[in-house]
Copies of this chain bind each other. A is one copy, B any other.
Amino acid sequence: MINDLIYLDNIIQRALEEDIGTGDVTTDSIIDLHATGKAVLLAKENMILAGLPLFSMVFTLLDPELLFEYIYQDGATVRAGETICRISGRLAPILKAERTALNFVQRMSGIATLTNDYIERAGRGKVKILDTRKTVPGLRALDKYAVRMGGGFNHRIGLFDGILIKDNHIAAAGSITKAVALAKANSPHTLKVEVEVETLFGVQEALESGADIILLDNMTIDAMKQAVKVINGKALVEVSGGVTLGNIPEIAEIGVDFISVGALTHSAKAVDLSLEIVKQDKV
């Protein structure tokens, strides 16, 4: 699915140009152009893998003749010490592309692993863990793909494929009711209308205005419970704001449909991965 993205090539090419620039002066000085070998991608900690197709595309862009053998695929749980894939072919492109390829897969696996942590903590109920638009500029498609690989679901991809009415829109329109009416009149009929509210009054008005989804923002557990009662299945319910690994179990029990977590993409740590040359052939 991620391979379908027409502009992935551009993202990878820019990343390679950024790192290699006018040439890898170390490798070009020392490594014989014809020298070949074999490398392995190793997990140095437990993780959910994400980004392996990009990892391979980086190397392939430099040398289409490199060969890959995959032991794991995106979405898999990999344990520390395990081999993820093997690469064989010319050494020079392997060394040149190494850092760029790792930068992709380490970040994406970090997001997938953190997403999985949130899901584990949220337990086995119906609630879906969603990402947000708090992604790294230019790499949103990759960040959101990594969330899916970790078991999460995607909220709207951008401002174009979902209506989310926030406080400023409400203030500008005059009321929730007026904002929802404007959104329904002026936007494509294929989109639902979601309204972000912070009080039970807001919940009530959103419901009456015909909102399809109600987003409870930064509410207390008690307020959220009341909101769910009031809504009573007449709209989908999403929770956001201040969600942590610590409080997500309690939130998940309330019975909402979605919990969205900005940290999945804006504060994930890179997982520890290592590319090791295991064999250098004689030239």
Contact = CB atoms under 8 A, between A and B. Distances in A.
Interface of A: 1, 4-7, 11-33, 35, 61-62, 91-93, 95-96, 99-100, 102-104, 106-107, 110, 128, 130, 133-141, 153-169, 171-173, 179, 182-183, 185-192, 194, 212-213, 236, 238, 257-258, 262-263, 266-267, 269-270, 277, 280
Nearest to A157: B22
Q: How many protomers of this protein does the assembly include?
A: 6
User: Sorted from nearest, which 10 A-B pairs have the closest CB atoms?
Assistant: A162-B190, A15-B137, A29-B186, A21-B160, A24-B159, A267-B269, A266-B270, A161-B161, A22-B157, A29-B183
B103 A188 contact: no
A191 B161 contact: yes
17 contacts: A6-B20, A11-B137, A18-B140, A18-B158, A21-B157, A22-B157, A22-B158, A25-B163, A26-B164, A27-B159, A27-B169, A29-B187, A30-B165, A91-B168, A134-B270, A138-B139, A189-B236
Nearest to A32: B172
